[in-house]
Chain A
Amino acid sequence: MADQHLLELDNISKFYGNIIALKGVSTVVNAGEVTCVLGDNGAGKSTFIKILAGVHQQSEGTIRLNGEEVMFNSPRDALSAGIATVYQDLAMVPLMSVWRNFFLGAEPTKRLGPFKWIDQSTAKQIAKEEMAKMGIDIRDTEQAVGTLSGGERQSVAIARAGYFGAKVLILDEPTSALGVKQSGVVLKRIVEARNQGLAVIFITHNPRHAYPVGNRFLILNRGQSMGSFAKEDITIDELTQLMAGGAELEALEHELAAATGNGNGD
């Protein structure tokens, strides 16, 4: 199965003028796996996803999709190649209903002569089914998205990306704005998506969220890759260490210990 990776990133770098945003990052993404991209603020996570989503283009390195070298010149390129991105701020209209949000921009239509209208019953039914596949029973798809919880909203976005033929699903910090319980909901959706055969790229700064769901971990620090590990090769503590740049965190721990008297990093 793993002869050929779905998506292969080789030595990706991005420079903005003389600023190095990303340097020599490599990893692989497989269908039915969750690849976690971890890093603190400013580690280069957002540059990384913007390259994958086609918003920016890499300065060096190659991206291979199904073994073929590709270059995404626009978000539309990436989308048509099957790479869907669910951004942190979510592309949702809060006052609109679930089904309208689900199909926004790609509504199924019926037509009669010159008249074209939305096939509402089909749209509602599909939205309901797709949400059910994600494990959410939306009885009334007329419900406004704004009344859903943060986790449910993420779920709608994930279900939508899956339904519209995404092979690779990029989730940008889906848990950062959520409470513990809601984060759990989203993590469950990630697993659902993975089980449906999607390749999921999960960007987060929280190793506790990443470790339970991830199959592979790419750790970034200050634009540098700290390595790409399979789950069996790494523990959660090592992950945390690497994320913060190892030695730095240790130093911080000592500092804190000195300042408070009873240092307890982590």
Chain B
Amino acid sequence: MKKMRWLAMLLALVMVAAACGSDGDSGDTADGGDTGSESTDSGDSGDSGDSGDSGDTEEVDVAQSGDLTFHMITHSEDGPFWSVVKRGMEAACSDLGVECVWMPGFNDANQMVQDIEGALAEGSSGIAASLPDPTALVPVLQGAVGQGVPVVTLNSGANDYQEIGALTHVGQTEFIAGQAAGERFNAAGATHVLCGQQEQNNVGLTERCAGLEDTFSGTVTTDFMDLDADTTAQQAAINAAMAADESIDGFLGVGPVITMSGVRAAGDLGRDVIVGGFDLTPELLGAIEGGDVLFTVDQQQYLQGYLPILQLFLFQTNSNTIGGGQPILTGPGFVTADNAASVLALSEAGTR
């Protein structure tokens, strides 16, 4: 298996090099090749991507789906979260036999707009996009719908997908997820929860803490606790915040890395703190199994990669829409000690 991956990587590299002047899209597609057989496919698409609009008709391997190419434009590819979304998308595309292009925007709305325009220019059969910045992205997506290209929003955008005219929205409402976490802390008997954030300007993370505050019966202190890139400083900040207030008996990390920092900080202080987290990593699941963490909110992001493609596919081939105009919620699901072991196996495989 490992040998195959190396081979695929090598092959993909050669393909990319061969397609001189290849743009980012073809490179990304080639990168998506997970198994040996697929890498050949993606290599072909790399070539066709270069030949522009007419290239789509030259696909050789698509049996059922004709010439569909879907574009997924997201605002990030870093972190344990988006790599799973990407896998979901890849799985959907290989299951359905369609071409998919993964375009991460690196938290840059301007680049996302350009990517969407680029996808339209290539004659995209459907666009799935996340909406971190609705003001910038809604007009260009409305334009896509106006051109007759179906749009699905994912991850963030629950409030704006209808305005765009998108088929549906696939994601989790952060506020509802936070509310669910608050109920869990109530049930566990916590009185004062520290809600630690790993980014300062992220609306989604703030919503999670706001949801917690909404349902939690005790006190909530919300604060920024340094970036994931510097876990040492992150742990030190949580440690200091906990030490400064003896009444803190709960910690909610709104990401997996900061949740683990919270576990270590509580351990250093020798305090018995109820820890809850967001999203999944193998370490976090291990900590849930070991009893250090009570639960983690799982928004099943695999679905956020898989379902938009499925919706676009069904719309294009059969004019179906799912959800009846309502957003499709992928979470909150919870992972606790009961199901951690089975999820852990899946997480290590990279699909949870």
State if A and B touch, Cβ cutoff 8 Å. Answer: no
